[in-house]
Amino acid sequence: TSPPYPLTHFDESGDTAMAHVTLPERLLCLVALSLVTVRAQDWPACQEQNTVIRNAGRALFTNLQGFGATVGCFQDDCQNTDKFVASSIESCTKVCQSLPECEFWVWGQEEGEQKCWFRLGDDGREAGEGWIAGSRTCFPPGQQAIVMGNNECWIDGFNYDTCCDPKFGPSGNAQCWDGVFNYDRCCFPKDEL
C-alpha cells in the first residue's frame, strides 16, 4: 500500500483539519476534478442541436412548481409535469441538474412558447428542426443545482417537502407559516426560471 500523504481541508466551520489520504486516493480526486473541468468546457458544444427526445414512456413527471414553473405544464398542473415554459435554455439545465432522476433535458417550442422537457432516458430520440437536447451533465460552467422554493425560508429544519408538498393542499403545511414565512414567499423561488 502507498504511504499516507497529509491533505489539508476545511471543515464546515472553516477550520483546517488534517486528513490522511493515500496516493491512489489523491490521484482519483485529481482525475475526478479534471473530469468536472472537461465537462464545464464542453458547454455549449455538449448541446445536441436539432434533436428532440420524445416521451416514449420516459417522461419525468414531477413537481416543477417549486423550481418556479407556473405555466406551460402538462394539463396546466405544474406539480405533476414533465415540461414548463422557460425564459432560457439554462432553465432546462438548472432544473435537470437539480432533479436526481433527470437524465436528459430538451429545449424547444410548443404552441408558440419556448419550453423545457425532462426525461428519464433517451428513448424516443429523433431529429427535430430547432430543438436542442442535452444530458444532465451538459450545463454552463459554474452552474449549481437549485433548491425548491425560496432558500431563505429553509431554516430550523424546515424545507420544501415539510412545508410545500402538494399533499398539504393549496396553502401548504399551516404549521410552517407565521407572520414572516408564508406559502407564497417560501414555496416559490425568488428568481425566475
Q: Are 140 and 43 in contact (CB under 8 A)?
A: yes
pLDDT digits (tens, 9 = 90+) for 162-188: 999 999 999 999 999 999 999 999 999
- Distance separating alpha carbons of residues 49 and 106, to the nearest angstrom: 10
Which residues lie below 8 Å from residue 133, measured CB to CB, with a gap of 6+? 47, 48, 51, 52, 53, 104, 105, 106, 107, 122, 125
27's grid cell: 490521484
pLDDT, tens digit (0-9, with 9 covering 90-100), for 53-84 = 999 889 999 999 999 999 999 999 999 999 99
Contact between 46 and 96 under an 8 Å Cβ cutoff? The reply is no
pTM above 0.85, yes or no: no
